[in-house]
Structure 1
Amino acid sequence: MEKASHKANAQCVEDIGKAINNHFDGFHYHTGFEEELIETYGMERVQYVVAYNIQQKLNDGRISKENKTWALQSQMNQGEGNPKPEYTIHTHSGLLDLFANSIREQQLTHEAEESMKEGDANEIEETDMDIQL
């Protein structure tokens, strides 16, 4: 199972790098492609590889303090002794920072949607209870 997860992480890293580089035309970074990556790999895996990459660049001034803080607060084990080169997203640090901004935004949107779904489910349960009484 661990080997399959490692392979999926490595493929996710490769696809993120390609997508970031394909959506930067030399002057503009075009967003909106992140959703497809999240659908393919899941939010948790995308966050993991992005956080991992930012954690490897904590001294890089092109990564915002907010993204560094987010990466350090991720559930990933920051104490991993051996860096994994196969988990390195090959892109400019500034583009990685912009991608992390988008992922954090998607994460907030996803959490808000989940919260609304839970709220709707609770309302339905309460309504059902009222009817049953």
Structure 2
Amino acid sequence: MNSNEKNTVLYEKMAAEQDIFRDWLKSQSPEEVLNHAYEYTVREDIVMAMEVLELTDAQAQALLDSPSPLADVYRHFEKLETGYMDVIRESIEERANEMHRAKEEQRAAPIYPHSAAYASEHGEMAQYRASLQVSLACKEAIEQAINAHYGDNRLNTEAAVKEVLEQFGPERMQVILANTVLKKEHDGRISRDNKAWAKTIPMPEDGGDPRHSYVLVVDKVNPGLTDL
């Protein structure tokens, strides 16, 4: 056999060895399976690497001479000092930074002041859609905060407001709440003071098409609970 053929045979031998190991694992208790989870994953990676790896003739033959080349490679890997935990720590920090940046960007995102028609005419649909998406998220966050902080017929208003403010800032939260109150102007569960307050909040233009303002109505909670 030439080296390419030996590499193919070695890959097939390792894959068959992994199949036997997998079948054995399936017969074990859940606790035993968990004990071998790391080993199974690494062995899978070794087989995957072997599928594309091109060993020299001598290297391939040396492993072929082993009755269990996959287990041999795994045992060698176990002894190596790797940067695995460093990668894990870096991944945690990088993801935390990404999420923090996204949160800050969301909180600082400006409210697009014009209608969809205006945005279309002026090539600003990207800004319009981005603002709408954040507003939809804010509306949902208000609903979730009210549900999360309501219990025993009482709303912990301070906690609910704080939760939404931290995510979206005061301006967008006020616009969503004011929009909700304006769309429920005839609802007796909302106080007159809040109805008067809602009329003082500058609202984005709707261009005569109120559909988007209706999708921003907080409607998955009792309207009386939006008296924040």
Q: Distance in 2 between matches of 1:96 and 1:40?
A: 18
Identity %: 32
Counting matched residue pairs gives: 98
Which residue of 80, 88, 103 maps to 2:217? 88
Q: Distance in 2 between matches of 1:59 and 1:31?
A: 23
After superposition, the CA RMSD in angstroms is 1.7
Counterpart residue identity of residue 86, structure 1: V
Counterpart residue identity of residue 209, structure 2: G
Q: Distance in 1 between matches of 2:164 and 2:137?
A: 11
Q: Distance in 2 between matches of 1:23 and 1:87?
A: 21
What TM-score do you get using the length of structure 2 for normalisation?
Answer: 0.40
Q: Which runs of 4+ in 1 moved over 2 A?
A: 77-81, 83-86
Which residue of 38, 53, 57 maps to 2:180? 53
Report what 2:130 is aligned to: 4
Q: Distance in 2 between matches of 1:61 and 1:86?
A: 21
Q: Distance in 1 between matches of 2:216 and 2:150?
A: 21
Q: Distance in 1 between matches of 2:205 and 2:226?
A: 18
The one-character-per-residue Cα deviations of 1:50-82 (angstroms, maximum 9, x if unpaired) are: 000000010011111110001011111586532
Of structures 1 and 2, the larger Rg is shown by 2
The one-character-per-residue Cα deviations of 1:24-75 (angstroms, maximum 9, x if unpaired) are: 1141111222123112101100000000000001001111111000101111
- What are structure 2's unaligned runs of at least 5 residues? 1-126
- What are structure 1's unaligned runs of at least 5 residues? 100-133
What TM-score do you get using the length of structure 1 for normalisation?
Answer: 0.67
Counterpart residue identity of residue 29, structure 1: L
Q: Answer yes or no: is 1:16 the counterpart of 2:142.
A: yes
Which residue of 16, 24, 29 maps to 2:155? 29
Report what 2:14 is aligned to: none
Counterpart residue identity of residue 10, structure 1: L
Q: Distance in 2 between matches of 1:78 and 1:96?
A: 23
Cα distance change of structure 1 residues 4 and 77 upon mapping to structure 2, 3 Å threshold: closer
Report what 2:170 is aligned to: 43
